[in-house]
Amino acid sequence: MIKYVIKRLLMMIPILLGISLIVLVFINIAPGDPARMMLSNEATEEEIEELRDSLGLNDPFVVRYVRFLWGAVRGDFGKSYNNNRLIADEMMQRLRYTVVIAVFSTILSVIIGVPLGIYAATHQYTWKDNAAITLSLVCISVPSFWLALLMVQLFSIKLGWLPPAGIETWRGWIMPTFSLGVGYAAMITRMMRSNLLEVISMDYITTARAKGQTEFIVLYRHALKNAIIPIVMIVASIFGGSLGGAMIAEIIFSVPGLGQYMLSGLTARDYPVIQSTSFFMSVIASLVILFIDVAFAFIDPRIRSQYTRKRRNTESRRAA
């Protein structure tokens, strides 16, 4: 397993290199000049070129790319053009807000999705099942930003129950969490239903019923244990997706997370902020995916035994 983890870590390197390269390419072709935005309209061309030289914007593409990679390896992402603060410190301060939204929305999706999926599977082809499926389709189809705006209109402006922006109190976390977690809850509902229906139709479930066990024991002791395994993987994937999806919630609800930090960098053409936040979030997403694979191998014995057999076959071929 250690060799597998090391192999996956090495596979992350070309992915991160590709992401950082793509971001830098788009930065170069995007309109706007950071030097002009930093200076006043009365600045001369000489002053603008002098500032571009000091920022390294006139350096060749390869030089800028290698400089960024060397700094990223050392954990030094430079300073922001806007406030001259260290980007690494800014990202670490804002990371907690993004992680909190991602964790809360993931927990909410599990709390809603798993019971609703079980309920739909145990009432197959009834109006209750149809209602659950219809509700999940609607929730998946609704964009998270549109749902967030509707929640602000209803719960903040009309009813006045929740603050429209800010996270000064615990109530400020409710709408960002729900706007991001509802769609994921619908996804878990549909997967939980299909997995449980597939497991229920297997022979060992029929055997358990034939032995006279109650439907509750058959469902929660035998069927649910195997049906829940794929949900573990999708839940971890949802957490990784929530880190990126939290950007929309942070912008709408004024949460000072990484998403809002990246938006401020895009608006001001703050190239170091754009490069650093995209690279940093890519590293986090890659580590989350790696954790998913390793955790899934420990949860499901079949995957672990398959990996063990593959390793033994490789060793036997080498010995031969």
**146-171 pLDDT tens trace:** 888 888 888 888 888 888 887 778 88
pLDDT value at residue 318: 56
Question: What percent of the chain stands above pLDDT 90?
Answer: 1
Which residue's entry shows tokens 């930003």? Answer: 145
CA 94, 98, 99 angle in degrees (round to 5)? 110
Helices (H) and strands (E) in the chain, counts: 15, 0
4 CB neighbour count, 10 Å cutoff: 15
Tokens for 29?
């072709």
Task: Give, for all 320 residues of the chain, the pLDDT tens digit.
Answer: 677 677 777 888 888 888 888 888 888 787 777 777 777 677 777 887 888 888 888 888 888 888 888 888 888 888 888 888 888 888 888 888 888 888 899 899 889 988 898 888 888 888 888 888 888 888 888 888 888 888 888 888 888 888 888 777 888 888 888 888 888 888 888 888 888 888 888 777 778 778 777 777 777 777 777 777 778 778 777 887 787 777 788 888 888 888 888 888 888 888 888 888 888 888 888 887 777 777 766 666 555 555 556 555 555 555 55
Give the global pTM: 0.77
pLDDT value at residue 49: 81
Q: How far apart are CA 44 and CA 42, in angstroms?
A: 6
pLDDT tens track for 169-198: 888 888 888 888 888 888 888 888 888 888
What angle separates helix 87-122 from helix 271-299, to the nearest 10 degrees? 40
Closest CA to 265 of 26, 67, 97, 58: 26
Alpha carbon distances (Å) from 281 to 12, 16, 47, 245, 271: 13, 10, 35, 11, 16
pLDDT value at residue 302: 57
Cβ neighbours for 161, distance < 8 A, ≥ 6 positions apart: 155, 171
pLDDT value at residue 307: 54
pLDDT value at residue 84: 81
Q: How far apart are CA 258 and CA 140, in angstroms?
A: 25
Write down the CATH number for the domain with range 102-269. 1.10.3720.10
Tokens for 311?
């390793």
3-state secondary structure of 234: helix
Would you kindly state where each structural domain of the chain is located, as residue ranges? 2-73, 102-269
